[in-house]
Amino acid sequence: MAATTLDELKEKLMNQSKGSIVSILGSDKTEEWLSSPARDLNRILSGSLYSSVQVGNHIAIIGPEAVGKSSFMALMLADAQKKGYIPVVIDAEGAWKPPFVTRWGLNPDNMIRIKSLWIEDIMVELTKFIENGFTNLAIAFDSIGALESKKMIRDGTKKDDVKSDQGRLQKDIKRMLKMLVSIAKFNSSIVFSAGHYYGNPTGYGDPEKIGGGFYYRLSADTMITLKKSPIYEFPNAEKKAEKGKILGTSITAATLKNRLYPPFQEASVEIDFQKGVNENAGLVKVAMDIGLLEKNGSWYKCDTLELKIQGEANFYNKLNSMDITPLLDKIEEFLKTTGYSSVNRKLELQEEEKEEIKEEEIKEEEKEEVKSNNSKNLNSKKSTIAKMTSTKKSKT
């Protein structure tokens, strides 16, 4: 029998396919990249200063309360809106208002909000998206942990055990996440979601304790965890009382999972309450690490920009007031040709330890299952022998 050719296989599959999308992988359309205003964040997400996340993916942003998850999603939606995507906010917390989205660069008159905390209602709306084939959407889900089931109300009215519904809710969340992923993958769209866990906003916390169940983590192409600290007027003061007013927030972002770039990278994002996002935050460290910037005592020197300035504050102010494209281009070239790593080794080791624990748990479960099966087989044999002995005695 002659070997099947690629053209024969493609033609038969494409002609006989019912619903599946069959194509040559190399000819598939490359989805568009979005960009955040924070270049260091872009770097850990894509390996480039100028792009962050790619359409066709689910981006999970996790962290404790008030760490900036909604703000991060709004920043991403703003760029998507500029590039022609329709922002759709699934607001389970009722927190998205026109002043909030306007602050982050979104036009509230050109975006859709679906407001409900009931998972049944949200799944109905997502079904409409899929059945109608809506495309070019930028969906923000805020948040997974706020979802509830209407069954809780029915059970409460009937005075039944409300807690018994949690298993059903987790299954529905899993189904809903599959619907969101399907919209992202097959409708040229992108999905952002916020996952909440309780803890101190100055720490990363434990991603295993995110509301929404284990499938939430599996469904994400990229998972970003956040922690924050205040930016003070006088940050170098020894006593807190002498640090002055809080001018903004410094957020450290780390990738726990990333299918588009190596994970466990860390980036700095600074948000000034008056000036907005500092697009160059974190890049001084990168430039120093790769030899494009020198620090000698209190002096900073950058030959690429022909700069030599004394004082950290003076240097940062100068960088933020001038065109630093030549420096950015050299950093970008280094990232593309040589690579640069800001891996948080502690996070990486924590994830490796968790994977090892999971593997051991699976092995123990398999051993217990084998023991259980052997015990059942043994009892079955004993029962069969007992029956045979009983039959012989009765015949005798």
Would you state the pLDDT for residue 392?
Answer: 58
Please check whether residue 8 lies inside any domain of the structure: no
| Same domain as 146, residue 129 | yes
* 183 Cβ neighbours under 8 A, 6+ residues apart: 126, 129, 130, 134, 137, 139, 189, 191
Would you state the pLDDT for residue 349?
Answer: 65
Would you state the pLDDT for residue 25?
Answer: 84
| Same domain as 318, residue 250 | no
Secondary structure letter of residue 394 according to DSSP: H
Rounded to whole angstroms, the Cα distance separating 257 from 267 reads 14
| Same domain as 232, residue 286 | no
| Same domain as 138, residue 62 | yes
Count of domains observed in the chain: 2
| Same domain as 178, residue 105 | yes
Q: Length of the chain in residues, anyone?
A: 396
| Same domain as 270, residue 287 | no
Please check whether residue 19 lies inside any domain of the structure: no
CATH number of the domain enclosing 205: 3.40.50.300
Pairing label, strands 86-91, 137-142: parallel
| Same domain as 265, residue 300 | no
Would you state the pLDDT for residue 44?
Answer: 94
Please check whether residue 84 lies inside any domain of the structure: yes
| Same domain as 306, residue 230 | no
- Domain boundaries, position 146: 30-281
Would you state the pLDDT for residue 116?
Answer: 96
Please check whether residue 7 lies inside any domain of the structure: no
| Same domain as 190, residue 64 | yes
Q: Which of 260, 281, 302 is the last residue of a domain?
A: 281
| Same domain as 314, residue 221 | no
Cβ-contact 279, 35 below 8 angstroms: no
Please check whether residue 123 lies inside any domain of the structure: yes
Please check whether residue 62 lies inside any domain of the structure: yes
Please check whether residue 21 lies inside any domain of the structure: no
Would you state the pLDDT for residue 190?
Answer: 97
Would you state the pLDDT for residue 320?
Answer: 85
Q: Which of 321, 338, 355 is the last residue of a domain?
A: 338
| Same domain as 191, residue 332 | no
In order along the chain (396 residues), what is the average pLDDT of each group of 10 residues?
86 82 80 93 95 96 89 95 97 95 95 96 96 96 90 69 67 94 96 80 56 81 93 85 89 93 92 88 91 91 92 84 93 87 69 60 63 66 65 58
pTM flag (> 0.85): no
| Same domain as 104, residue 43 | yes
Q: Which of 300, 317, 338 is the last residue of a domain?
A: 338
Would you state the pLDDT for residue 95?
Answer: 92
Would you state the pLDDT for residue 376?
Answer: 62
Please check whether residue 134 lies inside any domain of the structure: yes
| Identity of the residue numbered 20 | S
